[in-house]
């Protein structure tokens, strides 16, 4: 479809634009070493490329700018897997050098370093707790009528909630309930717990404990885990540095979306396959992200779960570099998070 020369020119145009954020003209192209043709020849080719929809003019006599279709083609066919600086690589690995045991901590650090290395905004979706299995349930009384319920899962995740109960319930009864809960619920996933509480546990509690229904209700209510997992961000403000967001209105739209976190779940939800996924501009189907691209890396975690790493930047993004960084980091993260589980990571 495209001649070699057209491929070359398209690539140089996009590379140049990504670097400079300025429309690229035929003359400046023909001056480059890679391109041995006169500006007139380049102009002809550019005209063709425009006709095919890969590049656009911002006005009748301006240089050309990549279109979304152009970026798409660039990402799919022209991406030269750019070598990262050794420094960047070791900086990523350094996160995992210390032996850290908190998932949140690891994930937060990953988000931070990613945003620092790219100057874009990073978004990390940690492992899903829904499928964690209950390891132990405990209740710690705090004062008369209130107590803290704690659930520890097999991944080491701790959920705790304060709850109150009628005063005529005795410490004895609470202990009895905790014993029953542990006997019956250990091994259940958090997701299924609510169901089992009401179906299976309710019947047993009924036999042993007066006022069991109040206790059960209090306990069940507090123990529904939030629907969404927590998102971790790095460099939320990095978009301020991008010239495409010097327009404060665009900025506000985007920041609003980031702040509300609403659409983000849909966008970042791990896709079917593992690996890298690139969404360019309107492909994201969110108005605020018209000028943005989102690169998502999905990686496996032990237990069949998946994690996601994403970089949000302008469509004029350093695709090659970002993809390399995401690839490395997602591999590291996959290992690190998996090691926090009982089971070894699936590959």
Beta bridge mates, 298: 275, 308
Q: Which region, judged by CB under 7 A, interacts with DNA, from 37-45, 195-203, 220-228, 321-329?
A: 37-45
Using the minimum distance from each CB to DNA, give the nearer residue, 27 or 269.
27
- Contacts (Cβ under 8 Å, ≥6 apart) of 61: none
Asked if 7 touches DNA (CB under 7 A), the answer is no
Angle between helices 319-338 and 86-95 (to 10 degrees): 30
138 binds, options a copy of itself, DNA, none, Cβ within 5 to 8 A by partner type: a copy of itself
Dihedral pair phi/psi, residue 275, rounded to 5°: 105, -165
199 binds, options a copy of itself, DNA, none, Cβ within 5 to 8 A by partner type: none
| Distance of alpha carbon 289 from the chain centroid | 16
Is residue 165 classed as helix, strand or coil in its secondary structure? coil
Using CB under 7 A, pick the residue from 19, 38, 160, 206 that binds DNA. Answer: 38
Using CB under 7 A, pick the residue from 10, 12, 18, 25 that binds DNA. Answer: 25
Contact 123, 266 (CB under 8 A): no
322 binds, options DNA, a copy of itself, none, Cβ within 5 to 8 A by partner type: none
Cβ 326 to a copy of itself, closest distance in Å?
22
37 binds, options a copy of itself, DNA, none, Cβ within 5 to 8 A by partner type: DNA
Instruction: Give alpha helix (H) positions in the chain.
Output: 4-20, 26-30, 39-51, 68-73, 86-95, 103-118, 171-185, 190-196, 202-208, 212-222, 248-260, 262-268, 319-338
Bin 235: left if φ > 0, else alpha if -120 < ψ < 50, else beta: left
- Contacts (Cβ under 8 Å, ≥6 apart) of 116: 234, 235
Q: What is the DSSP secondary structure assignment for residue 131, as one 8-state letter?
A: G
Contact 13, 54 (CB under 8 A): no
Asked if 136 touches DNA (CB under 7 A), the answer is no
Q: What is the DSSP secondary structure assignment for residue 344, as one 8-state letter?
A: P
Asked if 11 touches DNA (CB under 7 A), the answer is no
Cβ 25 to DNA, closest distance in Å?
3
Angle between helices 86-95 and 103-118 (to 10 degrees): 160
49 binds, options a copy of itself, DNA, none, Cβ within 5 to 8 A by partner type: none
143 binds, options DNA, a copy of itself, none, Cβ within 5 to 8 A by partner type: a copy of itself
Asked if 66 touches DNA (CB under 7 A), the answer is no
Using the minimum distance from each CB to a copy of itself, give the nearer residue, 21 or 140.
140
Interface residue list for a copy of itself (CB under 8 A): 99, 101-102, 135-136, 138, 140, 142-143, 146, 148, 150, 152, 154-156, 158, 160-164, 222, 236-237, 240-241, 246, 248, 251-252, 255-256, 259, 340, 342
Cβ 283 to DNA, closest distance in Å?
26
Using CB under 7 A, pick the residue from 11, 39, 153, 277 that binds DNA. Answer: 39
Using the minimum distance from each CB to a copy of itself, give the nearer residue, 204 or 251.
251
Cβ 21 to DNA, closest distance in Å?
12
Taking the C-alpha atoms of residue 127 and residue 132, their distance in angstroms, rounded to an integer, is 9
Asked if 33 touches DNA (CB under 7 A), the answer is no
Question: Could you tell me how many residues of this chain bind DNA (CB under 7 A)?
Answer: 25
Taking the C-alpha atoms of residue 254 and residue 112, their distance in angstroms, rounded to an integer, is 19
Using CB under 7 A, pick the residue from 17, 18, 63, 305 that binds DNA. Answer: 63
Residues making contact with DNA (CB under 7 A): 23-28, 36-41, 43-44, 46-47, 50, 57-64
């Amino acid at each position: 479809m495209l001649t070699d020369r057209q491929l070359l020119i398209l690539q140089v145009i996009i590379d140049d634009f990504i670097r400079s954020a300025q429309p690229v003209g035929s003359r400046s192209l023909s001056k480059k070493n890679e391109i041995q043709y006169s500006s007139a020849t380049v102009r002809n080719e550019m005209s063709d490329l425009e006709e095919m929809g890969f590049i656009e003019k911002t006005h009748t006599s301006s240089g050309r700018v990549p279109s979304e279709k152009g970026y798409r083609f660039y990402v799919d066919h022209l991406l030269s897997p750019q070598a990262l600086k050794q420094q960047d690589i070791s900086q990523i690995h350094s996160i995992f050098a210390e032996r850290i045991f908190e998932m949140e901590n690891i994930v937060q650090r990953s988000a931070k370093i990613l945003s620092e290395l790219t100057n874009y905004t990073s978004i990390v979706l940690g492992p899903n707790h829904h499928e964690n299995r209950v390891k132990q349930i405990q209740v710690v009384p705090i004062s008369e009528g209130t107590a803290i319920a704690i659930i520890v899962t097999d991944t080491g995740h701790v959920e705790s909630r304060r709850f109150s109960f009628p005063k005529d319930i005795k410490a004895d009864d609470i202990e009895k309930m905790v014993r029953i809960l542990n006997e019956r619920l250990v091994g259940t996933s958090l997701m299924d717990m609510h169901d089992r509480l009401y179906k299976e546990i309710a019947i047993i509690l009924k036999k042993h404990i007066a006022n069991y229904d109040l206790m059960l209700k209090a306990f069940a209510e507090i123990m529904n885990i939030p629907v969404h997992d927590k998102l971790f961000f790095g460099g939320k403000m990095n978009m301020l540095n991008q010239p495409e967001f010097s327009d404060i209105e665009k900025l506000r739209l985007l920041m609003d979306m980031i702040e509300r976190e609403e659409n983000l779940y849909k966008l970042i939800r791990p896709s079917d396959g593992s690996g890298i996924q690139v969404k360019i501009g309107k492909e994201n189907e969110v108005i605020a992200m018209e000028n943005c691209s989102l690169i998502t890396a999905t990686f496996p975690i032990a237990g069949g779960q998946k994690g996601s790493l994403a970089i949000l930047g302008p469509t004029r993004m350093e695709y090659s570099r970002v993809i390399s960084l995401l690839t490395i980091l997602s591999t590291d993260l996959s290992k690190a998070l998996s090691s926090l589980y009982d089971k070894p990571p699936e590959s």
